[in-house]
Structure 1
């Protein structure tokens, strides 16, 4: 679906969505679904879902996961919410064919209960370096099955920043593994070597607690297990729980759309050009109003996403050059330079290659075409304006016709366009003579007799 269409649908749904039925007090398991890349919208949805479960007295929260990974900041916000939740959380990789890769692995390790449906997988939790290549090529892939020892020889050396990121991630996931009494050594391999496991192998390696076909199966197997919630050991009583889904509301849906880097860029460009057109044609209000709204939404999205300030600086430079082209036409030179700066800035604006958070080439192409079109329009207007006769200022009076009101010697007064001007002429004139303006010196006109 095109990004702009997705935005329109999300905004439209904001006015017609109804909240999911209130979960009443009683024996209920609340289900939160995580599908796709984990970002600010996912974090907001899960935090609000956990809060709602606590307020409504839910017995258990089931976090159904199918994700390729996501942003580190959003992942950590979700884990903090799980660790602080007074309601036990069961991470469940489902349905069959789903995965808990990268950030999903950390979230599953943080959950009080972890389960996987048959045909799912977990792992590949290595942090992704900017540019999409993990640590300059990463290690050699495992030669045996994904649960066995990997090949750690011949790995390329990592620079300090990459080693720092990996060590930080390893310490984080090992801490979660120790908190939940799960396999910390495999968790470290998932980070350092991008190791992955199938559902059956994950149970064998004590990475997850069990496999389950459905949520009801998960609730049955979780019955009687003891988990630590905060500082208290809680024995789960999940048999016969009712199941309720917590649906994303309009806020989460809109947030998920505008935090798409492609949508954020489109909003910024619409906002920038809308405001530029408002300044070029003051009083129309529509371009300026729409532009201001889009620009604020775009800037809000940028505040939630990892941004490269060099890219943002290039975008600001591009906007400045575009505005300069509009006010001091250079026949496209400034506008083209501004367009190039805008495209380069957009290409490097977001500091991530996480799946689902990369900038589309089609969006970059649209930005380039819009910048080129704007430059061509301004250049065409500038060329046409140079060919037209001057209609304002001192120059517009040259060639204007008038009539002598009174004259004495080489000077007198003439009437031009209904105004009385002092005038001089190299030839003698008389009252009533028709004249033509040939020059102007301050408030004195230079005239000659019209032929």
Structure 2
């Protein structure tokens, strides 16, 4: 081999080595992680805020997809619309996965499932039963039909773009039909089934999906790590307060503490804690649909308790207040599903507890106002004192000293026609004027001899 050929071969080897070194970081670099959100609660404004925050974070991280583990009985249609709009605007493809086994996507959850770029279900899950419900009122047939048609139009606005079965989806609204994972896959309501997250991403790798804007996108998810984005502390707190039962209990506890502050003024701590609990309860109830008639029932109940404390009615006002307060609690939250309403047992227990404790506090306060003063000079009124000195020589000649409760006090007979009592005699305190006791002598009944004498 000539020297020039050796140089050419050496040069080619160097070039291949440089290319290998340059391509090594690209080959060794792991794919971008998939961001995972968990929505296992009722659909309400806190859920919508968490989803929007997660999609924005996925956009910031340039995540190849967002995986949403969903399990919900349903929720508010207004929050559902916000979440569907956020999914449609998302830069990263959204995969909604009903998991784990035993979970469901009922009512509002079915709308979210059909809005996703990829709809998936785990074995043993179900979805559907999406007929809209307006709780707490009897709907006119025309109004009921309008609400149903509005929900159907909302579903049709995006389900055809996802390539899913429109007829089967409409049955979930019109007849509240629910589908298992196998039925949903067979009817083309979902795209895939998988037992776990890793299997789901592996099955989706290389699949081409239709985005909401009509564009096609291929998913590259093989080996992609999954990073969980948990709800923030604020979202967890608000999610708990959005539970109607908990919000009602916090509200009642706050009202009791404030009522205690009014009955025992100056304690400060009950009033401060009660105000905090009331604010937290109102914060949570603000996230829920409130029945305004129930608010008036609650206010009427509180007013009756206050009137009972001021104008005793032998318990009639307290009983009426308890009934009004309990009825208000039972109808306070006008949610579309049972999970977003106050349970009857919770309302009855809270209402009766509030009524009994409020009546007890009012009764204690009334007894305290009617009882005699137990401290101060007024407690000596009606007590017996012992005269220790004779009358002091002055203009009236009626002032003297008495001993009562181990103390010496100046005393004066209240009636001018009575002479000053003698030392060691007893007097009764009738009034107190400053440091002077107004007294009157104690007249002991004379003992009569009950024996008889024979006149003879």
For the criterion TM > 0.5, the same-fold answer is yes
**Greater CA deviation, 312-321 or 114-123?**
114-123
CA gap of 1:25–1:298, structure 2 versus 1, over 3 A, is farther
Partner of 1:332: 315
Partner of 1:192: 174
CA gap of 1:423–1:182, structure 2 versus 1, over 3 A, is farther
Tell me, what secondary structure is at the counterpart of 1:304?
Answer: coil
Q: How many corresponding residue pairs?
A: 401
Partner of 2:454: none
Tell me, what secondary structure is at the counterpart of 1:128?
Answer: coil
Shift of 1:51: 1.9
Contact 1:407 1:430 in 2 (8 A): no
Per-residue CA deviations over 1:356-392 (Å, capped at 9, x if unaligned) read 2232333223313322422442464267447733569
Per-residue CA deviations over 1:113-159 (Å, capped at 9, x if unaligned) read 1122333322110012315x9x88xxxxxxxxxxxxxxxxxxxxx62
1:206 counterpart = 2:188: yes
Per-residue CA deviations over 1:308-340 (Å, capped at 9, x if unaligned) read 011111112222222333344444332222222
Shift of 1:343: 0.8
Tell me, what secondary structure is at the counterpart of 2:345?
Answer: helix
Shift of 1:300: 0.3
1:165 counterpart = 2:147: yes
CA gap of 1:352–1:428, structure 2 versus 1, over 3 A, is same
Per-residue CA deviations over 1:226-263 (Å, capped at 9, x if unaligned) read 33255755333333322222222322222221111111
Q: 2:277 aligns with which of 294, 305, 309?
A: 294
- Structure-2 separation of matches of 1:263 and 1:78: 25
- Structure-2 separation of matches of 1:317 and 1:397: 45
- Structure-1 separation of matches of 2:260 and 2:362: 15
Q: 1:81 aligns with which of 62, 79, 86?
A: 86
Partner of 1:227: 210
CA gap of 1:369–1:431, structure 2 versus 1, over 3 A, is same
- Structure-2 separation of matches of 1:366 and 1:195: 36
**Greater CA deviation, 24-33 or 218-227?**
24-33
Contact 1:435 1:449 in 2 (8 A): yes
- Structure-2 separation of matches of 1:332 and 1:166: 48
Shift of 1:400: 8.3
Question: Where do 5+ consecutive residues of structure 1 fail to align?
Answer: 1-23, 137-157
Contact 2:309 2:363 in 1 (8 A): no
Aligned-residue Cα RMSD (Å) equals: 3.9
Shift of 1:289: 1.8
Partner of 2:46: 41
Shift of 1:63: 1.3
CA gap of 1:392–1:353, structure 2 versus 1, over 3 A, is farther
Tell me, what secondary structure is at the counterpart of 1:356?
Answer: helix
Partner of 1:320: 303
Tell me, what secondary structure is at the counterpart of 2:147?
Answer: helix
> TM-score, structure 2 length as denominator?
0.74
* Structure showing greater Rg: 2
Per-residue CA deviations over 1:183-233 (Å, capped at 9, x if unaligned) read 223222211111222323323322222323332333234323133255755
- Structure-1 separation of matches of 2:263 and 2:102: 54
> TM-score, structure 1 length as denominator?
0.75
CA gap of 1:414–1:373, structure 2 versus 1, over 3 A, is farther
Larger RCO of the pair (alpha carbons < 8 Å, separation 6+): 1
CA gap of 1:339–1:235, structure 2 versus 1, over 3 A, is same
Partner of 1:241: 224
1:272 counterpart = 2:277: no
